[in-house]
Amino acid sequence: MTITKLDEYSVGDYVGHRMEELGVRDYFVVPGDTNMILLDSLLIHSGLRMVECCNELNTGYAADGYARTSEAKTAVVVIPYTVGGLSILNAIAGSCSERLKIIVISGCPATSVLAGDKETHHTPSPSNKDQALHAFQGVTAAAVRAECFKSATNVIDDAIIKCVQQSLPVYIELPSDIAGTPCPFPIPLAQKVEEATQPNQNRAALEAVKNVWNSSHRPVLLLGSHAQVWLSRSSIHRLVERLGCAVLCQPNGRWISESHPQYWGIFWPGLLNPEGEKVVLDSDLWLALGVSWSDLHTLSIDPRKENHRLINLQHDVVELPGQKIIDSINLSDLISAMINSDAIRPAEFILSSKPPYLADIQAKIRNSNDALTVRSLLSGIQTLVQKNSTLVVDTGDTWFAASHVMLPDGADLHMQIPYASIGWSVPAALGAQVARSQGRVIVMVGDGGFQMTAQEISTMIRMKLNPIIFLFNNLGYKTETAVHDGPYNYPANWDYAKLATSFFDKPHAQPPNPYVTEKTENGEEMPVFAEKVHTQADLLRVIEKANVESGKLAFLECCIQPDDMTPELKVLGEKVGRGVSK
């Protein structure tokens, strides 16, 4: 960053400085007339990389993936006023359900325009210039607007601090005239966070957890997806070994080495791993860490009836049996205290054997013209998952399919189960690949979900990213057909492989972008390959190609028969379908 004079330091520069302090290295944008002054300021910061997405909804999904996988566990998006805000709102609602730290910065008209009565573009009516501001209040820790340049930096900092402390998204509107206004250089963000930190009740929480834990005889530890957001894998392993009990993960909370002797598989009652489910149901205490109790997680149990044996550890609260609640805790510090506490006794009940691993659904791939099946496809995906891979899995049967893929130590998996927004995975994979460039992202997405956010393939190609995308083309919304079939469940079939390559074309003029120094050569090698996979021989061939051409985006359209689905989807359809038909 180069600022030659103090009076050149603006509110926009202030935002960039705060991003760098948070550890953010990339931010996602859609430009508009209200945010360009801010974008110009951010471009000065050489430590920040701008990632332009195709639309605002996709910036939100990309930020979601980035917040899950980056070391900062924080993401930033910059969007235009109202039209951008209302477009990204759905993605931020999903991030709210996962307690992700995402800072949404929306440009907005100059303060004089906002204060006037003149009709303004991007507003639903002359009198309603606050629609996006109001809409975000339900899905953020703060939804604010900088009303004047004197208080702008405090408004920005207050929102960022809420994002950090509450582990929730925030929304900030920054008028275009304020973004370029000079302001003082900021004091360190860590200092302001510390000043805003309230005393916690960790000591009382530790004592209460200890008392309940030490009185149990057959405890288990349950891990949910929020544990990935708040705690490192190493701290989870230390806690697991300190407690000494069986550990099960929710399908989107696989945040422990699956070779660990205490790991007992996925806990998805009524759908997966009946041996592990029995261990949980037979236990007298569930220590649930970052667990979500959504209806999709708990198809065959009622969590409200389990409170008598449940310790629920969340970001800022501990819920204990007897409806006792201790709030204002710091979860990370509480977990460290539990690891280091000699007062917490290791579990005495030792499980004698482990269940068979769920990968038994996989089928050997034959070098033949036999039709591709879900089972053989899972075996193929398994061969590509490495220790630094990140699986990003869309809503639908791919949830269950991914649950049959074993994760090597160091591999991550991300799903969005509570909010279950179809199409989330493709732009989320963009964010994850940007954040975790040392390994390849592997995407599992259905054809219906892909049609919702397909554009972001073009961003991956433009940035020369190299994820592997498995498109499960089973000709429709198969999760919906399993629940309740109807003519509305069958979108048009696309030539997906051809579409993927169409996102890369030679520019018709040079230079195609005058702000980029590198030239686009006519003979430039296509940074993507796309293939249709009909047979098992096709699958073997494209897996080899994905390994050989590892620097390219690999787009694999897997043509599956419409009635080929996991056993779990059939069960889900029966359970949920009964509720739909009532």
Q: Position of tokens 């009652």?
A: 269
The verdict on whether residue 486 carries a ligand-binding annotation is no
Closest CA to 391 of 433, 362, 356: 433
The verdict on whether residue 474 carries a ligand-binding annotation is yes
Spatial separation of the C-alpha atoms in residues 123 and 106, rounded to whole Å? 14
Q: How far is CA 137 from CA 59, 383, 580, in A?
A: 19, 44, 31
Q: Which two tokens stand for residue 203?
A: 């000591």
Spatial separation of the C-alpha atoms in residues 78 and 93, rounded to whole Å? 17
Spatial separation of the C-alpha atoms in residues 478 and 466, rounded to whole Å? 28
Helix axes 36-43, 11-21, angle to 10 degrees: 50
Spatial separation of the C-alpha atoms in residues 85 and 132, rounded to whole Å? 6
Radius of gyration of the chain (CA): 25
Q: Which two tokens stand for residue 157?
A: 């900092």
**How many Å from the N-terminal Cα to the C-terminal Cα in the chain?**
61
Instruction: Give Cβ neighbours of residue 83 (< 8 Å, ≥ 6 apart).
Output: 32, 56, 122
Q: What is the DSSP letter of 231?
A: S
Give just the sign of the alpha carbon dihedral 210, 216, 218, 222. negative
Q: What is the DSSP letter of 385?
A: -
Closest CA to 186 of 1, 16, 4, 5: 16
The verdict on whether residue 476 carries a ligand-binding annotation is yes
Bind-site residues for Mg(2+): 447, 474, 476
Bind-site residues: 447, 474, 476
